[in-house]
Chains A and B, each alone.
Chain A
Amino acid sequence: MVPFCVYLQRDGFNQNPLFECLVAQVPEGSQSKEGFTIVGYALYFDIYSTWKGRSMYLEDFYVMPEFRGFGIGKSLLSTVGKVAKEKQCARLQLRVLDGNTPSRDFYAARGAQDLTVNEGWHMIRFDGPDLERLAKETH
């Protein structure tokens, strides 16, 4: 079985990368218990809105638990926001679970709107056999 990191290497670091990623790094002297100096990351990619044009989507955003509370998450998110502005993106979007109150509060505190609460947007997915079946129904 191929480790998933191989797919990430293939998909993110070729001529036409499918995503970009920022990492948060601490000095050697502050490394994690397991010896990592990379303690957080934010993975994002370009999307498109027919209302507003080019936009960005934050797919993954993570800081190791022992490194939370030091502003690392805030810096990662702000830097993603800065990249979005530099690329002249009109929007930055992401998803969060309704039970994840700390994250929801974190985004709300930084001015994000919850479109599911405010406008009633639902996220819909087709995968596996349902996607196969749908693809076979073509006209």
Chain B
Amino acid sequence: MNFNIRDATKEDCKDELALYEKMPDQVKISHEDLERDGFCPNPCFGCLIAEVPEENKSKEGFTTVGYALYFYTYSTRKGRAVHLEDLYVMPEFRGFGIGKGLLSNVAKVTKEKQCALLQLSVLDWNTPSRDFYAARGAQDLTVTEGLHLIRFDEQSLDDLGNDAPKN
């Protein structure tokens, strides 16, 4: 299967969201949010697209068949780092090395930007993904170091902010 990996453009946001809508839980932001947040002077994220030639397009007619969305983070121990937020390949296009290609290209961006770490999250029951990352040399910090991911959102974030001292 021939495929090409390139930087996403603003025009790709609609297709990206269409890919996402194939997933069980719908994304809550719009393609306008993605366009605004990813293609402004100080973008909130970077994105790579995997596309196939016209003759190999998906059943619904998409040539965009996968993507990787990442952003920059900071480690006070190691400096600038990259977090891979989303990595997705349409089910009918899996097994052709597209996911591997996307991941390697994100790692290449990580090195080009002189970032020391590439990090991401994966669900414990997602054995194919966990094996995929482990096979490529990733460490599972939750297993090896006992790291837990903690989140405040919606009401708990509101309550937290309301507790701030008023100085």
Q: Are A124 and B148 neighbours in the complex by a CB distance under 8 Å?
A: no
- Interface 1/0s, chain B 135-157, versus A by CB < 8 A? 01111111101111111111111
Q: Taking the complex as formed, is B53 at the interface, i.e. its CB lies under 8 A from any CB of chain A?
A: no
A91 closest partner in B (C-beta): B153
**How many chain B residues touch the partner (CB < 8 A)?**
77
Q: Taking the complex as formed, is B28 at the interface, i.e. its CB lies under 8 A from any CB of chain A?
A: yes
A residues within 8 A CB of B147? Answer: 95-98, 116, 123
B interface residues with partner A (beta carbon < 8 Å): 3, 5, 20, 25, 27-29, 33-34, 37, 42, 44-45, 69, 71-76, 78-80, 83, 85-86, 97, 100-101, 103-105, 107-108, 110-111, 116-125, 130, 133, 136-143, 145-165
Pull 25 A–B residue pairs with CB atoms less than 8 Å apart, ordered by A: A47-B73, A48-B71, A50-B69, A53-B37, A57-B73, A84-B161, A85-B157, A85-B161, A90-B157, A95-B149, A97-B145, A112-B152, A113-B151, A120-B123, A122-B124, A122-B140, A123-B119, A123-B141, A124-B121, A124-B122, A124-B130, A124-B141, A126-B110, A130-B138, A135-B104
